[in-house]
């Protein structure tokens, strides 16, 4: 490693070192003042964000081409870092209220974000696997952070076992691809395919195994079974972060690997991707309709949103729509981040100790007792559905448009019908808040209020001015191609 390599990955290196130092510094911070650890963690994320934003416009490679930093990576890094900052704000009061205020929480969060950033930098399948493990292992621990709670321990165990299984599939896929091409770097794999020196059968099976592993992280049906139980059992602040960060990292890996290394396999993968997208949208929305627990409802909602995102991935190898496809995915992820973290902020505000305050009936009367909180939740529900002028509307509009441009009109229509169907369970929350009598209680905390303000402004602000965000996404695409 030389100085140039270190400078190229400087935001990642700083964040990983900061997380390690945070573990040491936290030893001298009193148990009743873990808010200091939270502030230090936020400073580390802010520093990494500043270093990422100072990057030049040209892609930079390091470590012999195993790592690349370009606009695509930087755009996604902003999503991870902003999600991390908002997740720290969500966790500050929540951890104290649930008697979970321990400093290692924030260090594990930073390590997970480091893995997500490394995933966007990965230009070699070995780095992809290392990044996958770096982001996964902290999340396994965070999922079981409510010690001596059977539901939390069950969530952590399920997530660990299924995650280890999916990591094994990814590793086996990498081995098959190496056997087929004698390369693990993404450009090298593509070159071997173009020169007809690759074993097509081994390459196809290896690519399929990678797709399965990444689909697990992104909660694509039928690799979604862990999601409802893990989302329900994990601390809500962890679930909020996981629902955004892990999903974005999974799709980042999918897009980077398949667009760069496997465009020639699109004829084989397109029908599979079409089916995965359709199945995920249908299953997520249908099962969400039967949920009465808000955490499980948002879990199945997250699965459905992954189906919409997969729609952008279906035409990944069609050059004339590739830029719009990637830009639509990046745009949607920003809207999904603001909407999801905002909705979880409301859930955390209403949630009480010992898992109480999470049923739909606990929101009865929230509109009268806490009108601003209920109004924010209504905004996020509308954004999930895709009602204008929310950011969620534009995110789905661009996804559906790219699907139509790619020749997948039926899939776009299916996505539209799924969105309309989802209104049934999203509006149930709104009806419960405003049209049912009850004594809903909610936590008043300045950090929660700040998170709600930022996410609400993001949903409305970018919804009214979507062109600025879309231009940033298109510029990020230009660095990738």
CA-based nearest residue to 322, from 256, 245, 415: 256
Provide the pLDDT for residue 271. 87
Q: What are phi and psi of 69, to 5 degrees?
A: -120, 115
Q: Mean pLDDT of all residues in the chain?
A: 88
CB of 78 within 8 A of CB of 124? no
For the segment 302-361, what is each residue's pLDDT rounded down to a tens digit?
Answer: 999 999 998 888 876 555 456 778 888 999 999 999 999 999 999 999 888 767 778 888
- In this prediction, residues 91-101 reach a mean pLDDT of 85
- For the stretch 404-407, contacts whose Cβ atoms lie closer than 8 Å and that sit 24 or more positions apart, written own/partner, are 405/315, 405/320, 405/321, 405/324, 406/314, 406/315, 406/318, 406/321, 406/325, 407/315, 407/318
Query: Residues near 275 by Cβ (< 8 Å), separated by ≥ 6?
Result: none
CA separation for the pair 69, 353 (Å, rounded): 43
Domain ranges in the chain?
265-481
* CA distances to 128, 157, 356, 430, 439 from 434, in Å: 47, 38, 21, 6, 12
- Cis peptide bond prior to 389, omega within 30° of 0: yes
The residues pairing with 124 across neighbouring beta strands, listed in sequence order, are: 185
Band of the pLDDT at 21, cuts 50, 70, 90?
A: very high
Question: What count of other Cβ atoms lies within 10 Å of the Cβ of residue 404?
Answer: 16
Q: Quick check: 213 pLDDT over 60?
A: yes
* CA distances to 104, 133, 265, 302, 410 from 184, in Å: 35, 17, 17, 32, 36
Provide the pLDDT for residue 402. 87
CA-based nearest residue to 305, from 226, 428, 392: 392
CB of 346 within 8 A of CB of 362? no
| Eight-state DSSP code of residue 293 | B
- In this prediction, residues 459-467 reach a mean pLDDT of 91
Q: Which residues of 268-290 are buried (b: 16+ CB within 10 A; e: fewer)?
A: ebbeebbebbbbbbbbbbebbee
CA separation for the pair 252, 79 (Å, rounded): 11
Burial zone of 323 (CB within 10 Å; 0-12 exposed, 13-18 middle, 19+ buried): middle
For the segment 280-306, what is each residue's pLDDT rounded down to a tens digit?
Answer: 999 999 999 988 889 999 999 999 999
CA separation for the pair 463, 342 (Å, rounded): 15
Band of the pLDDT at 126, cuts 50, 70, 90?
A: very high
Per DSSP, the three-state class of 59 is coil
Provide the pLDDT for residue 47. 94
> Cα 264 to the chain's mean position, in Å?
27
Q: Quick check: 480 pLDDT over 60?
A: no
For the segment 45-72, what is each residue's pLDDT rounded down to a tens digit?
Answer: 999 999 988 876 677 888 888 898 888 8
| Eight-state DSSP code of residue 359 | B
Going by DSSP bridges, is the β-strand pair 67-69/60-62 parallel, antiparallel, or unpaired?
Answer: antiparallel
Q: Quick check: 479 pLDDT over 80?
A: no
Structure tokens at 251: 């799709």
Structure tokens at 254: 């999918």
Band of the pLDDT at 113, cuts 50, 70, 90?
A: very high
Task: Provide DSSP, 207-254.
Answer: HHHHHHHHHHHHT-TTS-THHHHHHHHS-HHHHHHHHHHHHHHHHHHH
Provide the pLDDT for residue 320. 45
CA separation for the pair 110, 25 (Å, rounded): 14
Window from 28-32, 376-380, 470-474 with minimum mean pLDDT: 28-32
Q: What residue spans of 66-103 are helical by DSSP H?
A: 71-97
CB of 146 within 8 A of CB of 98? yes
Band of the pLDDT at 83, cuts 50, 70, 90?
A: very high
For the segment 215-255, what is each residue's pLDDT rounded down to a tens digit?
Answer: 888 889 888 888 888 888 888 899 999 999 888 998 888 88
Burial zone of 119 (CB within 10 Å; 0-12 exposed, 13-18 middle, 19+ buried): buried
Q: What residue spans of 294-370 are helical by DSSP H?
A: 294-313, 319-350, 366-369
Window from 249-253, 261-265, 342-346, 454-458 with minimum mean pLDDT: 261-265
CB of 198 within 8 A of CB of 180? yes
Provide the pLDDT for residue 57. 63
Can you give the pTM of this predicted structure? 0.93
CA separation for the pair 316, 310 (Å, rounded): 10
Percent above pLDDT 90 for the chain: 43
CA separation for the pair 365, 134 (Å, rounded): 43
Burial zone of 2 (CB within 10 Å; 0-12 exposed, 13-18 middle, 19+ buried): exposed
- In this prediction, residues 30-40 reach a mean pLDDT of 84
Provide the pLDDT for residue 107. 93
Per DSSP, the three-state class of 122 is strand
Structure tokens at 228: 């409802």
Provide the pLDDT for residue 478. 55
Provide the pLDDT for residue 88. 93
Band of the pLDDT at 277, cuts 50, 70, 90?
A: very high
Structure tokens at 165: 């299984």
Structure tokens at 209: 């195994």
| Eight-state DSSP code of residue 61 | E
- In this prediction, residues 177-183 reach a mean pLDDT of 90
CA separation for the pair 71, 474 (Å, rounded): 9
Please tell me the number of Cα atoms within 13 Å of 481 on its side-chain side. Answer: 18
CB of 109 within 8 A of CB of 121? no
């Amino acid at each position: 490693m030389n100085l140039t390599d270190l400078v190229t990955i400087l935001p990642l290196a700083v964040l990983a070192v900061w997380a390690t130092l945070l573990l040491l510094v936290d030893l001298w911070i009193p148990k009743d003042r873990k808010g200091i650890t939270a502030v230090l963690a936020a400073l580390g994320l802010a520093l990494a964000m500043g270093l990422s934003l100072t990057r030049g416009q040209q892609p930079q490679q390091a470590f012999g081409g195993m790592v690349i930093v370009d606009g695509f990576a930087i755009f996604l890094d902003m999503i991870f870092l902003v999600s991390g900052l908002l997740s720290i704000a969500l966790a500050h009061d929540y951890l104290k209220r649930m008697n979970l205020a321990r400093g290692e929480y924030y260090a594990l969060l930073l390590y997970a974000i480091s893995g997500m950033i490394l995933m966007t930098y990965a230009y070699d399948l070995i780095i992809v696997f290392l990044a996958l493990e770096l982001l996964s292992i902290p999340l396994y621990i965070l999922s079981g952070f409510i010690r001596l709670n059977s539901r939390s321990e069950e969530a952590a165990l399920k997530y660990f076992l299924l995650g280890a299984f999916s990591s094994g599939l990814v590793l086996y896929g990498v081995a098959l691809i190496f056997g087929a091409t004698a390369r693990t770097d993404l450009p090298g794999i593509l070159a071997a395919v173009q020169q007809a020196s690759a074993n097509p059968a081994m390459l196809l099976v290896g690519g399929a195994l990678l797709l399965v592993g990444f689909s697990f992280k992104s909660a694509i049906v039928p690799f979604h079974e862990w999601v409802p139980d893990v989302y329900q059992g994990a601390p809500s602040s962890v679930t909020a972060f996981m629902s955004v960060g892990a999903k974005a990292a999974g799709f980042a890996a999918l897009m980077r690997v398949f667009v760069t290394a496997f465009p020639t396999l699109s004829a084989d993968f397109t029908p599979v991707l079409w089916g995965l997208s359709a199945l995920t949208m249908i299953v997520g929305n249908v099962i969400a309709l039967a949920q009465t627990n808000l955490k499980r409802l948002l879990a199945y909602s997250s699965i459905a949103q992954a189906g919409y995102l997969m729609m952008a991935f279906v035409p990944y190898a069609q050059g004339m729509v590739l830029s719009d496809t990637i830009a639509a995915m990046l745009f949607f992820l920003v809207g999904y981040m603001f909407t999801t973290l905002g909705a979880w902020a409301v859930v955390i505000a209403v949630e009480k100790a010992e898992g109480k305050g999470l049923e739909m009936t606990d929101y009865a009367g929230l509109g009268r007792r806490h009108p601003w909180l209920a109004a924010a939740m209504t905004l996020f529900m509308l954004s999930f559905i895709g009602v204008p002028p929310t950011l969620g509307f534009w995110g789905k509009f661009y996804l559906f448009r790219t699907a139509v441009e790619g020749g997948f009109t039926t899939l776009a229509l299916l996505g539209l019908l799924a969105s309309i169907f989802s209104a049934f369970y999203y509006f149930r929350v709104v009806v419960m808040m405003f049209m049912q009598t009850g004594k809903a209680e909610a936590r008043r905390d300045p950090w929660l209020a700040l998170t709600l303000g930022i996410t609400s402004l993001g949903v409305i602000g970018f919804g009214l001015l979507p062109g600025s965000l879309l231009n940033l996404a298109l510029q990020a695409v230009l660095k990738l191609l």
